[in-house]
Structure 1
Amino acid sequence: MNIAKHMEAIFIVAAVLGGASAMATAAVPASAKANAPVVAKAPAGDMQVVTITAKRLSAAEKAAL
């Protein structure tokens, strides 16, 4: 496939995508912007813990896979 032959179409597609993304992100109202970052914290008592009891593979076992 000759890319030089299709450079005009590639440029037009890139320009259209850039314009569409600029229009989509420009319409965000000021009230929707967050002033402070949102931090999610789980209560200490409800935290789930996963314990893995399997042994690690040796180098010979890894090579056999």
Structure 2
Amino acid sequence: MEHQGEITMSTHVFIPDPALDHSLHVPLQIPAIIIFAVLVIFGVIILYAFFFMKKGNHMSMEY
């Protein structure tokens, strides 16, 4: 019983570390958002290119 309490307490202390969290999250937050946005934009462009190629070139030229 006491061992279980010790394990939950040690994991509880281990996960929320404000000093480590702040030094890691603040510099990585903005680049992560930029990388995610770039990936989404690239994915959309690739999907649209695939869609137009499958539909035919005359459709993309009409646009």
Superposition TM-score tier, normalisation by shorter sequence: 0.3 to 0.5
Q: Which has the larger radius of gyration?
A: 1
Higher helix share: 2
